[in-house]
Structure 1
């Protein structure tokens, strides 16, 4: 088996299906490769255990991971050029209780300006970003959150210091100061955030708010006059506010630091995929912060219905994404 050709074929098939993740998992005496697409997880290939180990080691080597370590968790990243496009791959490996190693490969797709269903939405976020403060984007894995943050930073960051804190860096941008979490070297999100503020960035991109400590530092940075762009895992636009509250940020702080909250998904179209946003800002945001019980969305249902009416998405896709 030619490992390089096999790996390239697997990655390119995943890209063709717009898979968000590839899973390399041991099932009995085989290493199976599953893809996660918008319709769910499906098996795409199977190899012997030895072949599977060679594939994983090839990928780990390319991502500058330790190929001699098969038990402890590791992360890595690499870029892949295909069909005149650049894709960023995030890798995560871990050993199971039997000592068998598994690998998950996440594919980061570039969302261009023409790939937003409603271009006025990204323009609205761009205008909001000029006010500084904290802009939080939520959405599931593979929904283009990082790309949106980078687009905003590029749009308002001309002549400004832009710094990113990621785990790992997903998109390489030469004009940004990009830093990466490294747990083995005890370089955590929190330590990088503390160091970032000493570097005096105008714009700070936080790959993900994962815990109360990271949330606190992000809020403090926004309150001190920085533009902070961050992602968080939440099921909908307004529930993103509740998620921040669960990370010990109180309503008064949210009221003073939050500039906007958005939720986004990539929806399949006849010509590929496009991004749909749901945004809350201004008085609507302030009213939502003050509520003890919140709904989910602002204009998601009506925007989805409009896309269906315009023929940009199919009826099954419309039904599938009713809940975000």
Structure 2
């Protein structure tokens, strides 16, 4: 099988003859059409560079002079309400860009470097229709498990995974699902990535001593039914989140952990009392994003000589699935990438009485994960294997995206 070169450059964007405003608009529209998750403007010792993050991989778009890049950065800063003359300290801003009826929320960050100012622009489509749980790409079993957690009257749900794995999108999709007018929903974020009607969203402001713990304590005085915490970073936030969950609030939060069971260990490492955690935690999920094979150039490869390839996931396969494996060499429709967009792979760990006992005893992550799998959890490895069997992604993409230790069968 021939796997496309994921590092292959994208077509350069033509900016010659344009003023700063026109060039910025063309850049944003070009990046949005790809679509890219991030747009980067930076300078090195000799030139300015343009790049995007496309399908999770950094791709160059072209070069300009350092002066030209500086003018583009200054224009974006001006539109986003950032201090144009402040180049020696990091700045943040926001700009909702509208084009052809589409709205793109741009979260802008600058940082000084030895060669000038670098700018990073996070791009997010302002389309609540994209935030349906069914559009996340999760297998039906994992989606059903997540929805069951959402119907709980109170408790803590943790979402884990590396940066850029879609955790924020999943949180917003959960809030969108719950936002039916019958619940008061509050969030504390850094920053607010997407404005959602009907939800009370707050940002932390460290320079004003408004950090996650302070904002969370204030939100609890607002009588919320549902609370979303952008990220648990410190012991106070972790403890407050668990106390809120134990007092009847439905609490969502992201956390740094590689797998769902690892979220439990991370909370204990932050000093959360194991009894409070065991009683307040509803479940944890971990997710990754894998490339979706291009339907225009996808090709099948017979697996008749390796019939046990999908034995571990046979019970979840539809008739005809798992008999072939797919790859895509790349074509003009996918910019010769072999992939068009990305889709989610997840594992959802729901707490049982046995898992609560393991938490109380502070048992290792491996034991908790093994117990969850024995109880029926569709883990990352098998969820990814299902994507391959269904022809949605390739084995090479799964290996690239998910750490090898989580792709090995459990003992």
Common topology (TM > 0.5): yes
In structure 1, how many angstroms separate the alpha carbons of the residues matched to 2:78 and 2:166? 26
Q: Which moved more, 1:180-189 or 1:222-231?
A: 180-189
Distance 2:19 2:96 in 1: 20
Larger radius of gyration: 2
C-alpha spacing 1:14/1:292, structure 2 compared with 1 (3 Å): farther
List per-residue Cα deviations over 1:120-140 (Å, max 9, x = no partner).
433421221222211111122
Counterpart secondary structure, 1:65: coil
Greater Cα offset, 307-316 or 238-247: 238-247
**Partner residue in 2 for 1:292:** 363
Encode CA deviations 1:96-127: one digit per residue, 9 max, x unaligned: 3x472222222235444334242443342122
Within-5 A mapping of 1:274-313: 274-283=343-352, 285-286=355-356, 289=359, 290-295=361-366, 299-313=379-393
1:223 aligns with 2:246: yes
Q: Which residue of 1 aligns with 2:305?
A: none
Distance 2:63 2:355 in 1: 49
Change (3 A) 1:288 1:276: farther
Give the 5 Å matches for 1:43-54: 43-54=60-71
Partner of 1:78: 95
Structure 1 pair 163/316, CA: closer, same or farther in 2 (3 Å)? same
TM-superposed deviation, 1:282: 2.1
Runs of 5+ consecutive residues of structure 1 not aligned to the other structure: none
Number of corresponding residues: 323
2:218 match: 195
2:119 maps to 1:103: yes
In the alignment, the residues of structure 2 paired with residue 5 and residue 101 of structure 1 have an alpha-carbon distance, to the nearest angstrom, of 20
Report the Cα distance in structure 1 between the residues aligned to 2:37 and 2:357, rounded to whole angstroms: 35
Tell me if structure 2 keeps the 8 A contact 1:24–1:102: yes
Distance verdict in 2 for CA 1:57–1:213, change over 3 Å: farther
Which position in structure 1 is the counterpart of 2:148? Answer: 127
CA RMSD of aligned residues (A): 2.5
After TM superposition, the structure 1 = structure 2 runs for residues 1-324 of structure 1, keeping only pairs within 5 Å, are: 1-38=18-55, 40-81=57-98, 85-96=102-113, 98=114, 100-108=116-124, 110-112=130-132, 113-131=134-152, 132-158=154-180, 159-269=182-292, 270=294, 271-283=340-352, 285-286=355-356, 289=359, 290-295=361-366, 299-323=379-403
- List per-residue Cα deviations over 1:39-67 (Å, max 9, x = no partner): 63232222222221221122223333222
CA distance in 1, matches of 2:283, 2:39: 32
Residues 136-168 of structure 1: CA distance to partner in whole angstroms, max 9, x if unpaired?
A: 111223322222212222323421110111111
Task: For residue 212 of structure 1, report the CA deviation from its aligned partner.
Answer: 2.0
Q: Is the 8 A contact 1:134 1:257 kept in 2?
A: yes
- The Cα shift of 1:238 comes to 1.8
Range 32-41 or range 290-299, more displaced: 290-299
Give the drift of 1:197.
Answer: 0.7
Q: Give the superposition deviation at 1:181.
A: 1.6
Distance 2:140 2:21 in 1: 39
Which segment drifts farther, 303-312 or 275-284?
275-284
Q: 1:40 to 1:285 in 2, by over 3 A?
A: farther
Measure, in 2, the Cα distance between the counterparts of 1:115 and 1:108. Answer: 15
In 2, Cα distance between the equivalents of 1:83 and 1:141?
30
Equivalent residues of 1:77, 1:168 under 8 A apart: no
